[in-house]
Structures are given as C-alpha cells and as structure tokens.
Structure 1
Amino acid sequence: MIRRFYKEVTLGQQPGGWQVLLDGRGLKTVGGAPQIVPTQALGETLAAEWRRQGEKIDPASLPLRDMADYAIDVAAPDPAALAEGLIAYAETDTLCYRADPDEPLHTRQQELWEPLLGAFEAAHGITLVRVNGVLHRPQPPEAMAAIRSRLLALDPFALAGVETMAKLAASLVTALCALDAQQEDEPLALWRMACLEEDWQADLWGRDEEAEQRRTRREGDFLRACGFARLARS
C-alpha cells in the first residue's frame, strides 16, 4: 500500500470520453496512456473507487481501474488477438458439454442450459455441437466465424469484460449473454447456471468452506466484469 497522495477526485470530459482526475491531474494507465473511458457512467464508477480509498491506497481495491488499463493497453491495440483467444472458450464452452444421458445431472443440464444455448444460437443464426462426456468435438467453423464477428464488433472495454467473464465461467456463451442481459438479476442467474456442475458435485459430496469462499470471490469478479462491460456501453 502507498499513502494517499490526493485530496479531490473529479471526473473530466476529454476528447473520446471521460477521465478520472486526482487533484486535477488525469489518470494514466500502467502503459502510460491517458485512462479515458467511453461513458460517463463508467467514469463515475472508476472515480468512486478512488474516493473510497482511506489514508493508504490499496491497489487490490481498484479492480475496475485495472480493467480499464487492460482495455486501453491490451485490448484496444489488438482486439483481433483478444477475440481469437476467446474463441477457445467457445470451442469448449461449458454449456455444450453434458453428462451422460443416464446420469441425473444430464437432466438438470438439459433443463437449465438447453433453453439458454438455444436462444443464443437463434440470436446468432448458428448451431453448436452438444457433447456427452469430456472428449472434445470441434464446433462448426461457420459458428465460430459468427461468434468471432460478434466479438470484433465489441469495443475494447466490453471485450475486456467479456474475456474476464468467459474465463471465470469457462463459457463464452454465458459471458455474451450476461453482456446482453435485460434484467438486473440476469447476470447472477447466468453465473449460477454456468456453475451448475460445480454446485451439483458440492451438494453430492459436501461443501468445503475454502471452496465456497473461492466461489464467492469468483462470483464477485464475474459480476464486476459484467458491470464494467455494460457501463462501457451505457
């Protein structure tokens, strides 16, 4: 931690967006670029992180600042590379991998995952392969091409948020659905659906306190990334 070096946190409008100002000085990213975000709503949320700091600054309590840095320094210069990396999550999307049909878990997966996956396919005009078991089966190239196009249409801030969500959920479908969610509680419901198998095993074999704490942290990270991506579009 470092001692707090500023008194006033404000938000200034700049060419291309909004920038947090500490005592009138605009923040920069780790890479040295002006940390300018596309919407006032996201800028206000970033400013709130700095206002919450006490006498000492805790870097761990500035996760949205880190995501903004990543969007500007990494995603913006080469969005195609980031999108290509995300295609791997579509190739092995959790929602496409089901238990064997004679297992009770399969029935639950069908109930929760199939409507979501079907709606995603309809929205994107694609068909994804469902797999029983863990052996990999490739997805249709035309489906991957459509998803790649969707990713490349996102701005760097939304793309950064989607990447974080996809990694946490092991599901690009879940991440994109959370980005497009219409209801406030929908991202949380989507996260919990992605964790169906994990919860199933925990209910079957018992819950571990440390595992539950990790799960809670991951849930918070998922929802934070979702909020970041959605605020960048508002």
Structure 2
Amino acid sequence: MGSPDKGGKPDMRDVLKDVENSIQLSDPDPVKRAQIQMRTPLPKRFYKQAAVVQDGDRFAVHLDGKPVRTPGKNLLALPTEAAAKLVAQEFEEQTEVIDPMKMPVLRLVNTAIDGVATDPQAVLEDILRFASTDMLCYRAEGPESLVERQNTHWDPVLDWVQTGVGARFNLAEGVMHVEQPRESIAVLGVWLARRNDPFRLAGLHVMTSLTGSALLALAVEASEIESEAAWLAAHVDEDWQIAQWGQDAEAVARRAQRHHDFVAAVKLLDSLG
C-alpha cells in the first residue's frame, strides 16, 4: 500500500499504482514494464470467445460464458454496453497469450472497480491537487518560439476553464510556485463531483497523470478539445526540446506507450456517454 500523506491517509496515486501492480503492471515506467514482462511468461489464451452479457443495470464481460473477475475478485461489469465491448474486444484481440500491456482499457477498468470505487473522493481530490499546480499555468520566460507555442496550445483551454467552468487560474513564468484562487479549485471540485462515477474518474485521473494537466483532461472529457490536440498540448515543451536536440529510442518508446494508455482512457470516457 502507498505511503500515508501528512494526515495519515494513503496518497491515492500510490493506492492506484498498487492496484495496477496487482494486475501485472510491475513498474510505473512503461518501457521497464515491457522489459520485465518480456522476461515473464504470459498466460496462454484459455478461452474461445469473449462476449458482453447484461447483468441488471450493468454489462458484464464473459469468457466462454463465464463472468470475468477483477484481480480483487469483483465482477467485471460496466455501466454501458459500449464500455463493456471495449474490454471484450481487448480479450478477443489476444492471440496465443494474454498480454496485459496490450489491454489498457482492461487495466483501467480493473483500477476503477478495485481501487477508485473504494474511495472516489480521494481520486477526485488527487485530480484537484494536479489542478492546483497545473502545467498550463507555468510558462517559459523564453525563447519566444516556445512562449508562442505554449500560448497557442494552452490559452484556449484556460479560456474555456474560465468561461465554461467558472474557474480562473493565475499564470507564472518559470518554475516558481503560483498560488491558485481557492474559489477556482472549489469550482473545479463541484465540476468533478458531477462526474464521480468510478470509471469516469479513473479515466480522468489517468489522462491527468499522463499529461500533467487536470485542465487538459477536463477539456477533453467536455469535448472542448480533441484528444490528439490535448496530447500535443501536453508535450509542447518536450517537442520544442526534441526540435532542438533530438530524442533517443527509449524516449520514443516511452511516449508511444503513454499515448497508448491515454487513448484507452479517452475511449473509455467516450463509451460511458
């Protein structure tokens, strides 16, 4: 379990990592994770067919007629048929072995059921902590080309947050901490509270973690920005550095895996309606 915070309560980021680790995510770094799993024998595909079966007001995933359980032994059931079909499709796409690295939606759903559902408020608060130091609020002092890129990609999101959500954020140059208005964080908290479904919160948390910006994640969820535009916005600084100095193969692989997980989170959010 993750280490407690100052109030004695476990940090939700550590809790969610612990849940992920229980489903064969053996390292938070996607490249290292892939290397570890290459050395670990993967379970063979033991089923012929994956299907979605309605179970009350939920939609469960079945393998050869038997319901799938999460690592925490909970029924793997989702609130919409479209969401359940995403998981079933990942099971269908497995060939000779079952590779969790190729099942990002399943990993996210397991995290939602076994982790987020036990304490959704903690996940909501963790997203708010990201927002209080959101990447979009920290601007480069130079060079001008980087400043212009940040303004182009980030200002429209902050404009939407102010006009659409009602939260105003302060900007800073460099890395010096800037305090955000308590009222703005409170408004975001109310906005998130309307989205406290464990699956939606799990998707938002993953998108926030991968981009470093809760505001980008909320804008994607609200259809105020296309997901790929948000991904580019999250990497403005990195892409500027790449343009100057290039990048190595490991960095390319790491970003590709993170993008894979980001796309899975977007698909899950879209499937929830």
Give me the TM-score of the superposition, normalised by structure 1.
0.93
Match of 2:154 in 1: 113
Secondary structure of the 1:138 match is coil
Q: Which residue of 2 aligns with 1:177?
A: 219
Aligned-partner Cα distance in 2 for 1:217–1:62: 12
Correspondence for 1:47 among 66, 85, 88:
88
Q: Which of 126, 130, 150 lines up with 1:85 in the alignment?
A: 126
- Deviation string for 1:159-192 (max 9, x for gaps)? 1011001011000011111112267xx1001110
What whole-Å deviation, never above 9, does each CA across 1:4-28 have from its counterpart, x for those lacking one? 2222221100123101111111111
Aligned equivalent of 1:69: 110
Q: CA deviation at 1:59?
A: 2.5
What is the DSSP-based 3-state SS (H/G/I as helix, E as strand, rest coil) of the residue aligned with 2:270? helix
1:69-218 alignment to 2 at 5 Å? 69-100=110-141, 103-154=144-195, 155-181=197-223, 186-218=226-258
Classify 1:17/1:222 alpha carbon distance in 2 versus 1 (closer, same or farther; 3 Å).
same
Q: Which amino acid aligns with 2:67?
A: G
Cα distance in structure 2, aligned partners of 1:54 and 1:107: 46
Cα distance, 1:3 vs. partner?
2.0
Tell whether the 8 Å contact from 1:97 to 1:133 is kept in structure 2 after alignment.
yes
Report how far residue 212 of structure 1 moved.
2.1
Residues of 1 paired with 2:224 and 2:152: CA distance?
Answer: 21
Q: Distance in 2 between matches of 1:220 and 1:201?
A: 22
Contact 1:158 1:230 in 2 (8 A): no
Q: What secondary structure sits across from 1:139 in the alignment?
A: coil
* 8 Å contact from structure 1 (residues 158, 229) kept in 2: yes
Percentage of pairs with the same residue: 36
TM-score of the pair, normalised by structure 2: 0.80
3-state SS of 1:57 partner:
coil
Amino acid across the alignment from 2:240? W
Q: How many residues align?
A: 231
Q: Are residue 227 (structure 1) and residue 267 (structure 2) matched?
A: yes
Distance 1:151 1:49 in 2: 29
Measure how far apart 1:108 and its partner are.
2.2
Distance in 1, matches of 2:256 and 2:45, equals: 29
For structure 2, list consecutive stretches of 5 or more residues without a partner in the other structure: 1-41
Instruction: Describe the shift of the 1:60–1:112 C-alpha distance in structure 2 as closer, same or farther (beyond 3 A).
Output: closer
Distance 1:15 1:149 in 2: 30
Q: Is the 8 A contact 1:101 1:132 kept in 2?
A: no
Q: What is the Cα-based RMSD across aligned positions, in Å?
A: 1.6
CA drift at 1:211? 1.6
After the TM superposition, list the runs of 4 or more consecutive aligned residues in structure 1 that deviate by more than 4 angstroms: none
User: Which amino acid letter does the alignment assign opposite residue 178 of structure 1?
Assistant: V
Where does the alignment leave 5 or more consecutive residues of structure 1 unmatched? none
The offset of 1:102, in angstroms, is 6.4
Deviation at 1:225, TM superposition (A): 1.1
* Kept after mapping to 1: 8 A contact 2:69/2:75: yes
3-state SS of 1:197 partner: helix
